[in-house]
Amino acid sequence: MKKTLSVLLALVLGITCMTACSSKTVTQEDDTKLQIVTTIFPEYDWVMNVLGDNPADAEVTMLLDNGVDLHSFQPTAEDILKVSTCDVFIYVGGESDSWVEDALKEAENGNMVVINLLEALGDSVKEEELVEGMQGEEEEEDEGEEEEIEYDEHVWLSLQNASVLVNSISDALEKADPENAGVYEKNASAYIAQINALDEEYKAAVAEGGKDTLLFGDRFPFRYLVDDYNLNYYAAFVGCSAETEASFETITFLADKLDELGLPAVLTMEGNDQKIAQTIIQNTQTKNQKVLTLDSMQSVTAKDVEKGVTYLSVMESNLEVLKEALK
C-alpha cells in the first residue's frame, strides 16, 4: 500500500515538476506563495495540522495573537490589508466579526476561499442561552426594535464541531492548492482521528463521573462543550458577557446549588481573578470546594504557540479539569 502511494506520489511530483519547469518564469513562484489568514488560535492550529509538512510553503497568519479576545479585537490597517490580499481566509463569523465584511469588500483576490465557521456548521450553531440563576447582559434597546438573535460564537469548544471544521479547512486548502490536495486530505483525516479519539475520552470521563453538572462562577463560553456530553450547567453570566459584578442573588443562587448538588468545584475560565468563585464558596455550608479553570482558548498568544500549545493540548488539559469537576 505504502509502496503504491510513493510510486504514485513520485509520478505526481514528476508531472508537477515538468509543468513547473515549462512555465515562463521562476519568479512567479514567490507571487503564488499561498497566503492563509486565520483570526483565532483554534483555526490557526487546525490549518497547521492540515498543512502538515507544508508542501506549498504556505504563509499562515493568526491575527488575534496578543491575548486580546475576539470580542474586543480591533483590526489594524495592516490586518485588513492581509485579509484583503490572502488566498484563504478563515473567521468565526459571529457578532464580534462585524469588521470582516468591510475587509472582504476590499478583497483583491477574486478566487479567495473564505470559511465562516458559523456558516460551515449550519444547524449546529446555538443561540446564547440564559439558564436559571444566570445574569443576563444589560442591553440598550430602542423601543420597537426587534431583538436580534445572538449566536454563541465559541464553536471551537466542541470537539465534534472541530472535526467538521477541520474538514472544511481541508476542502478549502484542496481548492486553493489542488496540487497538494492528496496531502491535505490525508493530514486532515489523521488529525480528525485524533480529535475523535479525544472526544471518546471525554465521553468516557463523563460516563465515569459522579456528577453531571458544572457550575461556573464566571462567564460561560463552554455551551458547545457541555452540550456535546449532555452535561448541565449553571453560571454567573451568559456567553462572554461584559458583566463582571455578580449580584447578591446570583452568588446565593450558585452557592445554594453547590450545596444542593454536592459539587466538588466552582469553575472559572482563563484569566479570571476567581473573586466571584471564592465568594460563592464562602457562601456555601461546607466552604471546601475547589476553584478550577477551563481554558476557552480566547487569549492564546503567539508566544504560547511558540511554546508548543496546541488545540489538542488545551482540550486534553481541559479533560483533566473536567474529571476533577465531575468527581
Which residue ranges make up the site for Zn ion (CB under 5 A)? Answer: 221, 240
CB closer to Zn ion, 155 vs 309:
155
If the CB atoms of residues 97 and 199 are measured against Zn ion, the closer one turns out to be 97
CB of 239 to Zn ion, least distance (A): 6
CA dihedral over 198, 158, 40, 65, signed as positive or negative: negative
Task: Please state the closest distance from residue 206 (CB atom) to Zn ion, in A.
Answer: 23
Minimum CB distance to Zn ion smaller for 192 or for 300? 300
Name which of 58 and 239 has its Cβ closer to Zn ion.
239
114 alpha-carbon distance from chain centroid: 17
Nearer to Zn ion, 153 or 171 (CB): 153
b vs e for 25-50, b when ≥16 Cβ sit within 10 Å of the residue's Cβ?
A: eeeeeeeeebbbbbbbbbbbbbbbbb
Nearer Cβ to Zn ion (75/221)? 221
Provide, rounded to whole angstroms, the least separation between the CB of residue 97 and Zn ion: 12
Query: Distance between CA 133 and CA 51 in Å, rounded?
Result: 44
Would you say 91 and 42 are in contact if contact means Cβ atoms under 8 Å apart? no
- C-beta closer to Zn ion: residue 73 or 317: 73
306 in Cβ contact with 71 (< 8 Å): no
State the minimum distance, in angstroms, from the CB of residue 105 to Zn ion: 26
Helices marked H in 32-93: 41-51, 77-85
- Residue closest to Zn ion (Cβ): 240
Q: How far is the CB of 47 from Zn ion (least distance, A)?
A: 21
Nearer to Zn ion, 36 or 240 (CB): 240
Using an 8 Å Cβ cutoff, are 88 and 113 in contact?
A: yes
Of the two residues 225 and 281, which places its CB atom closer to Zn ion in the complex? 225
Closest CB 96 distance from Zn ion, rounded Å: 8
- What minimum distance in Å lies between the beta carbon of 273 and Zn ion? 17
Asked whether 163 and 196 are in contact (CB, 8 A), the reply is: yes
What Å distances lie between residue 243 and 135, 189, 231, CA to CA? 8, 40, 24
Angle 184-189-192 from CA coordinates, rounded to 5°: 120
The dihedral through the CA atoms of 265, 325, 298, 301 has a sign that is positive
Report in angstroms how near the CB of residue 223 gets to Zn ion at its nearest. Answer: 11
Residues sharing a CB contact under 8 Å with residue 237, sequence separation 6 or more, in sequence order: 134, 135, 137, 218, 219, 220, 243, 246
> E strand or H helix at 116, and its extent?
strand 113-116
Query: CA-CA distance, 206 to 225, in Å (whole number)?
Result: 12
- Residues 273 and 256: their CA atoms lie apart, in Å, by 22
- Provide, rounded to whole angstroms, the least separation between the CB of residue 64 and Zn ion: 11
